[in-house]
Amino acid sequence: MLLAWFANASRVLKPGGSFFIWGGYANLGNYPAPIKAAGHHFYEPNNATDLWHVKKVNPQAMVHLTEKPVELAVRCIQYSSKPGENVLDLFGGSGSTLIGCEQTDRNAFLMELDELYCDVIVKRWEAF
């Protein structure tokens, strides 16, 4: 299933396009083989050029179980796109990517299956 997903990402990404995987270390070992098989480059953590120190979201203030700080989304967005370009987030969650795109003049396209979190995303964006 991962190979199919990464192969489809190869099909739709423009040359030079990139994507980020947000997740914990528990699943990190599952990604390199299908990413490489689909023709992507995977830069393992020991090859990282930067170490980012971003304050995590206060657990009492979280509106989503896996909420990411907007600052983290902004850094990823700025490293991989230019103002006016499109950013796709297939797991909209709490809307951090949407707010990050608003802050950096990108066009955000989000998907979220859970209707409850769709409402959370809209409310967070309206409050922004």
C-alpha span between 121 and 116 (Å, rounded): 9
- What pLDDT is attached to residue 46? 60
Cα 72 to the chain's mean position, in Å?
Answer: 9
Q: Report the chain's mean pLDDT, rounded to a whole number.
A: 85
Residue 39, pLDDT > 60, answer: yes
- What pLDDT is attached to residue 5? 84
Question: What integer is the mean pLDDT of 26-46?
Answer: 75
- What pLDDT is attached to residue 105? 97
- Identify the H or E element spanning 6: helix 2-12
Q: Which domains does the chain have, with CATH numbers?
A: 1-49 (no CATH), 50-128 (3.40.50.150)
- Quick count: other Cβ atoms within 10 Å of Cβ 119? 11
pLDDT tens-digit map of 50-92: 667 888 888 888 888 788 899 999 998 998 888 999 999 989 9
111 vs 40, more confident: 111
| The pair of three-digit structure tokens given for residue 117, joined into one six-digit string | 């979190």
Look-up: residue for tokens 């990402």? 9
CA neighbor of 95 nearest in space, from 125, 65, 57, 56: 125
